[in-house]
Structures are given as structure tokens and as C-alpha cells.
Chains A and B, each alone.
Chain A
Amino acid sequence: MQASKTTREKVEAGLRRRRRREIVFQLSGMLATTVGVMFLGVFFVDLFAKGSTAFMQTYIRIDVEFAEDVIAPDGEIDLAYADFDGLVRTALRNEFPAVSGRSERRELYRLVSIGAGYQMRDMIEAKPALLGSKETLWVPASSTVDMYVKGNIDASIDEALRPLSDAQVGWIESLRESGRLESRINSALFSNGDSREPELAGIRGALMGSVYMLIVTILLAFPIGVAAAIYLEEFAPRNRWSDLIEVNINNLAAVPSIVFGLLGLAIFINWMSIPRSAPLVGGLVLSLLTLPVIIIASRAAIKAVPPSIREAALALGASRMQVVFHHIMPLALPGMLTGAIIGMSRALGESAPLLMIGMVAFIVDVPSGFSDPATALPVQIYLWADSPERAFAERTSAAIIVLLAFLLVMNLTAVIMRKRMERKW
């Protein structure tokens, strides 16, 4: 027997241990991934379970009369003071003639959303010829009826503990039996602005606010970011100052977003007196926020262009500007655009800086320009999550689904763009 082992024996002795370690390492990696995917799965399942019902809404069919003596008492249609709610109430009373007594009638009226009256007003405004006619309308049910139909209110518990009385449950069931109650697609969710009535509340206002803000952000942040990146990479001398600028840009990318909100409040609103709550201010603040992200991504993209291309162009007599615009930019653009889109999707999800500049507000009218008051999608989610009315819970989840869909589309665009335009050296 030899005193010392050969190399081969030494390796074989340790082999089992090394293999075991390998397996443990791979397993822990798999475990970490599984845990991550599981959390994501729970989040999505919960979100869709809660939010998917919000895309449907209960409607009630009523037979209304555009009564001349109510809408046009003096012969002319009086939109501002006509009692459209009264006409809806008359229709409900006709449907349930047995209901009498003040408090019972009040309960009956609560089955239908106050949106029914607005709907009638809009109809007669669009078509005055309806005056005096009888129409059959599908109007939104109130949010408590909707919650009951969706199974979120348990009719078997004590009457005092639930928002619907026994009588109301009876009326709903009789409406359902006679086919006067139907679940339909909740178009209000996409066509309306915010409302305190859950059945009328929609995300259109918030969505438009986000769109206007992102337009301002991209128009400002992209050109400035790309210009800064080109200057820093291609023209700026390498010295202490450019190092300082680089460190600062990297730091800015990590600053908590609320700080940008405070900055925006001080500069854009207090000093430059741009109106509060306007998408213009929001866009300016968000462009400050995304600027570092775009600069960093654009610099990385420029760096990735091989020096041989620059040198070849310079050798053929191109000026430095021609080098940049004819050769570097086309090659670096996919990377720059990817950075811009990632910056935009971060901006889309921000709500903290908007708090400081007055965009966390109740705004019903859908904004139609850059200076109209507006909110943004994440803010709408925050406001709905804080509302006492039960039906806002599902709308909160629905708004989150819409926000996630937008983020997904934006990030997917970035990935596809990179895949299609990228050049490998």
C-alpha cells in the first residue's frame, strides 16, 4: 500500500461531497424561484378573484315616461331643474304598485343608481324629440344591489346587519324572475371619470391623466436624457467634474420619489406658478424622476457600440457630430428606447410624488388638456382603496388589473424592440 494517495484517488474521495453540494445549491435555487413564483401566483389569483367581477355590473330595466309636465313645465326643456330622479321613482312605483309608506318607498328608490336620472337627462339632451314618449331603459342598479347579485352580501344573516332589507331582497328577486335584472359589461368603468357612487365610477379620468403626464414626461425626458448621455459619453472630457456628475446621476436614480414631488411643489408650483393638479406639473415631476434612468440606459447603449465604428468613420473624414448622428445613434437607439420605456413604466406606477403636487384629489371631469386638473391610475387605486363603500373594493382590484396590463404592454414592447433591433458584434 502506498502512503500517499494518487491525485485520482483524492478527486474521487471528494467527488461525492462535491456532487452533494451541487445538488443542494441547485435545489436552494429552485426553492427560491418557487417561493417567488408562488407569491406572484397568490397575488394574481387574489387580484383576479376580487377584481374580475368589477367588469360586470347589474342593470335594471325600467319603463320611464319623459313626462312633459316634469321636463318642460313651461313648454321648453329645462335640463338644469327638471326632476329626472322623480321620473325614475315614478317608474319604480309603477313597477311595484303595492309598495306604500314613506320609508318603504325610500327603500325601493334605493335599488336604482342615481345615475338613472343622469342617463335620462343625457338622452333628452341628445334627442329632444323624446319629450312625452315612453321608453324602456336599462339603468345601473345601485352598488348594494350589485353586491347582492354578485354574492357579496349574505341574505341569510340578520336583517339589521346587512345593507339590504328583506323587502329589498324580495324586490330584487322578483325583478330577477321577471327578467328585469341583468348582469352586463360594466362600460362605465372605462367611459366615466371618478365618482362617489361605485356603480358610476370609472377610470377614464385617471387613465387620461396618466396619458397626458406620460406625454409630457417622454417629450422632456427622452431628448434631454439622450442629449446628456451623448455629451457625457462622446464629448465631455474625463476629469473630476465629469466623475462628480456621473456619481450624482447614479445617486439621483435611487432617490425616493417623494423627494421629486417636494421639488416639483417648490419649483413648478410655488415659483413658476403652474396650476396644481395639472398633468403638466405631474409630467414635469415624473420627467425629473425618469431622467436619470434614461441617461444611465442611454450611456450603456452608447458604450456598447464598438470603438472600431467610431474610428472608421473618423478615419473617413466624418466630423464628430456626423459620427454621432450617422453611426452611433442608429446603433444605440434600441437600447436608449428600451431605457426610455422602462423609465416610463416606472413613471406610470408612481403615486408618491403626485401627492405633493395636488394630484391626489377627487376629480370627476375627464381631463381634456395638459392644464386641466387630473389624477393618475395609481392615485385612483389609492383613493378607491380608502373608500368606505363596499363596492369600491372590487373596483380597486379592477383598476390594478388595468394598470398591470398597461405595464405589461409597455415592458413587452421594450423586450420585443430590443430583440428585433439589437445587433450583436
Chain B
Amino acid sequence: MLASVVVTATVSGTAIAQAGRDYIYIVGSSTVYPFATVVAERFGRGTEFKTPKVEATGSGGGLKLFCDGVGVDFPDIANASRAIKQSEVDNCASNGVTEIVEVKTGYDGIVIANAIAATSVNLSRADIFLALAREVPGENEGELIENPYKTWSDVNAELPDVRIEVLGPPPTSGTRDAFVELAMEGGCTSIPWIRALRNTDTDSYKTICHTIREDGAFVEAGENDNLIVQKLEANPNAFGIFGFSFLDQNAEKVKGAKVDGVAPTFDAIADGDYPVSRPLFFYVKKAHVDVIPGLRGFLREFTSERAWGDEGYLSDRGLIPMPEEERGSVAARVRDLTPLSMVSQ
């Protein structure tokens, strides 16, 4: 009986797979998900095509699925909150995915926020590093000690005398990767001997700069940013790390700390003044364009001024637009479907 069921299921499964796919299939970053889904919905409602399916798998997981092969079973587009890695391009190429078009969509700021009622602070990236790294430089050059700082005023006398308590995303999150690279590493390099390590001993440089303390001062709060906002409201001493769009939606509950003197505002991130911001991307399989119905139209919708422009609907959702010339050049590359040129060594 089981065998017959399995056989029927196999047969019907293959039949479906061969029938092709009449919708666009998108996977990838949960940071890009809120933007990609808005475009997908508008595209689906505004055209004769079906609404694309968008899966939130994380940047790495998405690119892995994307690189698994060419054909209707594999995604057409992978969203990523970081640029594609050489190893991923190689993996793609080994599965026959040779022509990938990179589309930069805009910027996302990562904010360090606390409750609206709490004191406003001005953090330097060095403060962030010293407060959150597992090991910090000791008194002598080259010496590392277990992070001894208990309160923010221990780190920097100008900061308030409250216990260090930061709620942030887990290591699987792209937001965490970007925070570690931009804020922690940025602060790390302000210490001369560690910066010197970058060229001589890359591994220990990365370990020092990228490792977050595990003694309870940094709390992994899961991928749900709404939950972090709620916890900040309840605990005015805590800080939280999340994407700009959540700050934008909860402006009367939480406020973003200044980093290196710059507040996380829409304009400051767009101008590149706010230091903890990153570009967002998506990647398109060139072989699928003109095979999957509507893919070309979807690309046009995403790169249109009404979507990603200064006053487009994506900026309403918290995506920070690129400067106009950059938008123009990216859109031109998308029109011509110019593939990435990351030839494997």
C-alpha cells in the first residue's frame, strides 16, 4: 500500500515538475524580503503575470538554492544582504549557473536603539567594540584580556552609568554579520596594534574584531525585530540592534543612538554619513530571463523610479535609495543583463 502511494506521488510529482512554472521564484535574505515582497505584490497585481513567490531563507541559504542549477525547479532570483562571495560564484558555475546579473537595490541602516524615555547616547564605533567584544586590549600593547567592562561608563566616562545590555540578532542573521563587520570591526581598527594585525595575521585579527562577548551583556534575541522593540520599551537600560525600517515604524517607542556623531536618519544613511549601513542586492539567473514568464517585467518594476526612486514605494518601507546616477547605471546593467565578471581562479 505504502509502495503504491509512493509510486503515485512520484509520478504526479514529475508530471508537475515537467509542466513548467508560470510564476517567478525568489529566495534569500530576510532583510531584503520586506522589500522584494512589496515589489512582487505590486508586480503581480499590476500585470497579467502571477505574483512571484518569495521565500525568506537567509542570504547564504538563498544563494545555495540559487546555485543548485538551471531549470524550473531552481530559483530565478536570490536576495542577499551582502555581495555574493567568490566561493558561491564557483559553486554556481560548477552547477551550470554561469551568467548571474547582480542588482544593487539600495541601502539599509543598522541601528543601535533604546527606549524613547531613556537617555540619548552618542557612541563611537570604538565604544561599541569595547562594550561588546569578547576580548579587549589590556594595558600593554598586544595583550588581550577578557572583557572587564560592566557598565557603559566603564567603556567611556561620557556614557551613562548603566549596565551594558544589548539585544541583537543571532549569528545566522545577515544583520549580525553586517553589524559585526561595520560597527565592531570599525571600532576594532581604531586600536593601532590590532589594525596592524590585519596584514600580518588575518585570522587572529578577525577573531579579535568579530567575536561578541558571551557573558550575558549581549543577548541573542532571535530574528524577530518586533520582539526586540517590545523588550526595549519594557527595559530602558537595554539597547537593541535591528534594521532601520523597524526604527522607522516605531519612532515613538524607540530612538536610534548616534554612531560617531551621526544619527541614523533616512538622509544620513542615504548620504553615506551614517557608518553602519550596508548595500542590499539581488541576483538574477540570466538563463531564466525570457523563459520564466514575467521575469524581465519584474526586473523592470524593481528598477523603476516609482519603486526604488527617492520617493518610490520602497523608500516608504525603509529602503534607502541609491544616488540617482548609481540607480541609472544599475538599471542600465539590468536592461542589458550584463553578468557578473567574477571568474574563478
Spell out A's residues near B (CB within 8 Å): 80, 106, 114, 118, 154, 157, 160-163, 195-197, 220, 223-224, 227, 268, 272-278, 280, 284, 358, 360-365, 371, 373, 383, 385-390, 393
Chain B residue numbers with a CB within 8 Å of A388 are 34, 225-226, 243, 245-246, 248-249, 317-318
Contact flags (1/0) for B324-340 with A, using CB distance below 8 Å?
Answer: 00000000000000000
A280 and B2 alpha carbons, distance in the complex (Å): 16
Chain B residue numbers with a CB within 8 Å of A160 are 251
Instruction: Determine whether the beta carbon of A163 is less than 8 Å from that of B251.
Output: yes
A302 and B150 alpha carbons, distance in the complex (Å): 63
Instruction: Determine whether the beta carbon of A373 is less than 8 Å from that of B226.
Output: no
List 23 A-B pairs, Cβ < 8 Å: A80-B47, A161-B116, A196-B41, A197-B41, A224-B5, A227-B1, A268-B9, A272-B9, A273-B14, A275-B73, A280-B12, A361-B53, A361-B54, A361-B55, A362-B56, A365-B44, A365-B51, A371-B16, A386-B225, A386-B226, A387-B34, A388-B225, A388-B317
Instruction: Determine whether the beta carbon of A280 is less than 8 Å from that of B13.
Output: yes
Q: Does B171 contact A (CB under 8 A)?
A: no
Q: What number of residue pairs across chains A and B have CB atoms under 8 A from each other?
A: 113
Instruction: Determine whether the beta carbon of A196 is less than 8 Å from that of B17.
Output: no
- Tell me the smallest distance from the CB of B301 to a CB of chain A, in Å: 13
A278 and B36 alpha carbons, distance in the complex (Å): 21
A393 and B227 alpha carbons, distance in the complex (Å): 11
Spell out B's residues near A (CB within 8 Å): 1-2, 5, 9-10, 12-14, 16-17, 21, 23, 30, 33-34, 36-38, 40-42, 44-48, 50-51, 53-56, 73, 116, 223-226, 243, 245-246, 248-252, 311, 317-318
Instruction: Determine whether the beta carbon of A389 is less than 8 Å from that of B251.
Output: no
Chain B residue numbers with a CB within 8 Å of A274 are 9, 12-13, 16-17
Given A157-B252, A362-B37, A364-B40, answer yes or no on A272-B1 (Cβ-Cβ < 8 Å): no
Given A361-B53, A388-B34, answer yes or no on A268-B13 (Cβ-Cβ < 8 Å): yes
Instruction: Determine whether the beta carbon of A360 is less than 8 Å from that of B16.
Output: no
Nearest 8 pairs of A and B residues by beta carbon = A274-B13, A364-B51, A362-B54, A361-B55, A161-B252, A362-B37, A371-B16, A388-B249
Instruction: Determine whether the beta carbon of B245 is less than 8 Å from that of A361.
Output: no
- Chain B residue at minimum C-beta to C-beta distance from A81: B46
Instruction: Determine whether the beta carbon of A362 is less than 8 Å from that of B249.
Output: no
Instruction: Determine whether the beta carbon of B16 is less than 8 Å from that of A223.
Output: no
Instruction: Determine whether the beta carbon of B10 is less than 8 Å from that of A272.
Output: yes
Given A163-B249, A274-B9, answer yes or no on A196-B55 (Cβ-Cβ < 8 Å): no
Chain A residue numbers with a CB within 8 Å of B56 are 360-362, 383
A386 and B58 alpha carbons, distance in the complex (Å): 14
8 Å CB contact of A224 from B2, B34, B38, B251: B2
> Which of B56, B224, B250 has the most A CB atoms < 10 Å from its CB?
B56
Chain B residue numbers with a CB within 8 Å of A106 are 311
A223 and B5 alpha carbons, distance in the complex (Å): 11
Chain A residue numbers with a CB within 8 Å of B14 are 272-273
A389 and B313 alpha carbons, distance in the complex (Å): 14
A163 and B316 alpha carbons, distance in the complex (Å): 11
> Which of B36, B225, B226 has the most A CB atoms < 10 Å from its CB?
B226
